[in-house]
Amino acid sequence: MAFDPLQERGIPLDEQPRNWRELNVTPIDPDHADPYTRCRIIAMNGIEVEAIQFSHQLARHCPDLEISQQLARVRYIEAQQQKVVGWLLPGVSSVLETTIAYEQTAVELTAWVARMEPDAYLQQAYQFGLLEHFDHLYRFANLQEMIEHREAEKIVGRLTEVMPGRPAYLHHRDPMDNVRRPYDRRVTEPLSRLHALTIMSAEQQAMNFSMNAGPACMEPIARQLYQEIALIEEGHLTHYESLVDPGESLWEQLLNHEYNECYLYYSFLETESDPRVKAVWELHLGMELEHLRLAAELFSRFDGRDPDQVLAPALPPPVTFEPNKAYLRDLLATQIDCTTLGTGYVREAHERFTRTQEAIMGGEKAPSERVIDDNRAVSGAGVPAGDGGAASGGPPAQPLADG
């Protein structure tokens, strides 16, 4: 039977606050946990952070004291949820290990969304960004092998291939060419709204993580690589957030946020392999059902519409973390030479792209290229190109050529 969050009873808001003992969750074991459990944790942490930040923005535009107080109560619970989800990550993992896990999450989550997206234009946007995150994973894998002498495959569990994508130095474009055409809220499918909000939230988290982790590094090449990737992530966030129709009211956006949280907690509850983490998803889903009910009341009150007019009548099939190797290799073979021009995509460099490249590079190699050279010098051949490389029909098993 289909699950309709609007018809389900959640946990009353007064019963949702937790004490310190309840918030003090035991983290997953990085050496034995399913890599996709870690991906679900990272993804849900990003969703909760976006929910909190959006609520703060909404509160800053809300003149009604009573509603501001209600938003604050819900936001405090969202903050508790974020602490529980975020603290499931193990503190023993290095910054680089966590970075690689973040990139694996971005790759597999974006691949799933791209495969399921019904709108061709939105699908192209996700496929475009996917090949760039795929390359970020490869660059950070080389950095980790060089600094920590550990293979990224041990972190991603060989579920995600580690091989070159669209070269990172080509991700530096004129900012205006990162802006996409938004979907039309009046006709777009509810699933497309959920996809756009999910990927925007995940990208925002990737950007924040890179720009905060970089200064904590000691090695010059690590600091430089994080700096470069963080700048690229800023462009990616522009790319994804511009897909959301800016004509949605704040109350409609709040409704979409809460519905999307229900969708993702339900998805992860259905697909989680770790019983202890699964219990967290189940508890948080019960909380979010009440948050959705409150958001639906505000939407009806201030927008004068029924929530059923903008939400799906039942949740779509669960978001699933699963290997996307064949899908990614097909995109590598057909779309690696794409870049953006205005709100569209082209296959050849254009004047604005070339001008931006010259201004940013300043006649030098990008850190994302130098890390491959440095790892080659230290480790020999560098990170191999995926599970099997040329033997399995993919690109040659060698570091990416100089850019």
Q: What is the mean pLDDT of the chain?
A: 93
- What's the pTM value of the predicted model, to 2 decimals? 0.94
Work out the burial of residue 141: count CB atoms within 10 Å of its CB; fewer than 13 is exposed, 13-18 middle, 19 or more buried. buried
User: What confidence category does residue 145 fall into, taking pLDDT thresholds of 50, 70 and 90?
Assistant: very high
Question: Is 161 within a domain?
Answer: yes
| Domain coverage including residue 50 | 22-378
Between CA 393 and CA 274 the distance in angstroms is: 34
Put residue 189 in one of left, alpha, beta given phi > 0 → left and psi -120 to 50 → alpha. Answer: beta
Q: Quickly state the pLDDT bin for 384 (edges 50, 70, 90).
A: low
362 is a domain residue: yes
Rounded distance between C-alpha atoms, residue 384 and residue 400, angstroms: 10
Percentage of residues in the chain having pLDDT higher than 70: 94
In a domain? residue 12: no
Can you give the pLDDT at residue 381? 66
In a domain, 255, yes or no: yes
Query: Which tokens in the block code for residue 157?
Result: 């569990």
Residue 48 and residue 313: Cα distance in Å, rounded?
Answer: 23
Q: How far apart are CA 377 and CA 355, in angstroms?
A: 32
Q: Express each pLDDT in 315-362 by its tens digit.
A: 999 999 999 999 999 999 999 999 999 999 999 999 999 999 999 999
Can you give the pLDDT at residue 270? Answer: 97
Measured between alpha carbons, how far is 198 from 233 in angstroms, rounded to an integer? 15
Distance CA 87, CA 208 (A): 17
User: What SS3 class is residue 171?
Assistant: helix
- Let me know if residue 95 belongs to a domain: yes
Task: Tally Cβ neighbours within 10 Å of residue 221.
Answer: 18
Residue 400 lies in a domain: no
pLDDT at residue 119 in the model: 98
- 394 in a structural domain: no
> Within a 10 A sphere around the Cβ of 97, how many other Cβ atoms?
20
Alpha-carbon distances of 270 from 192, 317, 319, rounded to whole Å: 21, 10, 9
DSSP assignment of 369-391: HHHHHHHHHHHSS-S-SSSSGGG
| Average pLDDT of span 203-227 | 96
pLDDT at 395 (0 to 100):
32
Q: The tokens of 73 are what?
A: 């109560």
Say if residues 173 and 128 touch (Cβ distance below 8 Å): no
Q: What is the largest CA-CA distance in the chain?
A: 65
The answer to whether residue 43 is domain-embedded is yes
Query: Which residues share a beta bridge with 341?
Result: 344
Tally of structural domains, the chain: 1
* CA gap 305, 297 in Å, rounded: 10
Predicted pLDDT at 293: 98
> Measured between alpha carbons, how far is residue 233 from residues 207, 259, 300 in Å?
5, 26, 36
Question: How large is the average pLDDT for residues 292-296?
Answer: 98
Question: Measured in Å, how far apart are the chain's first and last C-alpha atoms?
Answer: 53
Contact 229, 136 (CB under 8 A): yes
Q: What is the pLDDT of residues 89-109, one digit of tens each?
A: 999 999 999 999 999 999 999
